[in-house]
């Protein structure tokens, strides 16, 4: 899976169907722009593969527009600013940077943690959402039954974890190399890569993800969000995780 720099995102144009076979490809969201000319910014905002109103009434179009076009875009802009004096940020895969934050210069380490974490989290977020996302089946469903007590318990526990996350953060389903699943939360824009782990899927519980429609009713947002999950993409990420090719 690429680091989400423009140089790496070009490989996503071959299609998500290659996610399992090609190392780190599952991190790309969709067909990406062609390779950029030399000297351009290394980080790009991955485009949505669906309209901003695709999830109404569960997530309103204005929230999607602001969330993707302003919040995620700000992470990209900040990373490109950091990369001007630290080009290695755009040259290394995200797993190498977030997994080795101590190697990042002190003066930008917190900024990289927040912005690259946010870039990684949101790229995953847009990828595992989609209209007409179907239902879990096959190996993913079997893993949910085995490790998380079945869909009903899984959703209940996932929503509860997201509701307990104090302030801003994320609730994730973590997947290990054997395909075992667990539910964990992270504060702010921390990505599980920082802890040497990988996220299969996750939900953003920052207020900007839901406040226009749900105000302080995070629990209602968490329940409604399940209507947006693209289980086909989750299955692709699960297969990549088992193959050792899932970077985030």
pLDDT for the residue 241: 93
Q: Profile the chain (248 residues) by mean pLDDT over runs of 10 residues.
A: 43 34 30 41 95 98 98 98 96 95 97 98 98 94 98 98 97 96 98 96 98 98 98 96 85
CB-based contact 109:101 (threshold 8 Å)? yes
Domain(s) of CATH 3.55.40.20: residues in the chain:
138-243
CB-based contact 104:97 (threshold 8 Å)? yes
Domain(s) of CATH 1.10.287.990: residues in the chain:
6-47+58-127
pLDDT for the residue 41: 87
pLDDT for the residue 245: 87
DSSP type of residue 236:
H
Count CB-CB contacts under 10 A for residue 92.
Answer: 17
**Which of 34, 38, 37, 126 lies closest to 75 in space, CA to CA?**
126
Tell me the C-alpha distance between 193 and 100, whole Å. Answer: 9
pLDDT for the residue 17: 34
pLDDT for the residue 56: 97
**Which of 156, 148, 139, 158 lies closest to 203 in space, CA to CA?**
158
From the options 3.40.50.150, 1.10.760.10, 3.55.40.20, 3.40.1010.10, give the CATH code of 138-243.
3.55.40.20
pLDDT for the residue 244: 87
Domain spanning 6-47+58-127, CATH class: mainly alpha
Q: Which DSSP helix (H) or strand (E) runs through 174?
A: strand 169-175
pLDDT for the residue 39: 52
Bridge partners for 66 per DSSP: none
Contacts (Cβ under 8 Å, ≥6 apart) of 72: 45, 118, 119, 122, 126
């Amino acid at each position: 899976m690429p680091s989400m720099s423009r140089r790496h995102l070009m490989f996503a144009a071959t299609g998500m169907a290659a996610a399992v076979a090609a190392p780190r490809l599952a991190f790309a969201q969709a067909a990406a722009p062609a390779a950029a000319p030399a000297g351009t910014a290394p980080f790009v905002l991955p485009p949505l593969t669906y309209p901003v109103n695709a999830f109404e009434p569960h997530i309103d179009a204005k929230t999607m527009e602001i969330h993707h076009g302003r919040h995620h875009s700000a992470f990209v802009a900040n990373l490109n600013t950091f990369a001007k004096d630290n080009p290695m940020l755009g040259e290394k895969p995200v797993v190498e940077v977030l997994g080795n934050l101590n190697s990042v210069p002190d003066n930008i380490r917190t900024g990289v943690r927040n912005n690259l974490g946010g870039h990684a989290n949101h790229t995953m977020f847009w990828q595992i959402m989609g209209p007409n996302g179907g239902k879990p089946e096959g190996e993913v469903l079997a893993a949910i039954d085995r490790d998380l007590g079945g869909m009903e318990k899984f959703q209940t526990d996932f929503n509860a974890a997201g509701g307990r996350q104090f302030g801003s953060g994320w609730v994730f389903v973590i997947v290990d190399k054997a395909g075992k699943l667990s539910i964990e939360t992270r504060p702010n824009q921390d990505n599980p890569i920082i802890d040497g782990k990988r996220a299969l899927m996750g939900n953003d519980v920052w207020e900007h993800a839901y406040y226009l429609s749900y105000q302080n009713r995070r629990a209602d947002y968490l329940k409604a969000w399940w209507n947006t999950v693209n289980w086909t993409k989750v299955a692709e990420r699960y297969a990549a995780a088992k193959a050792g090719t899932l970077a985030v």
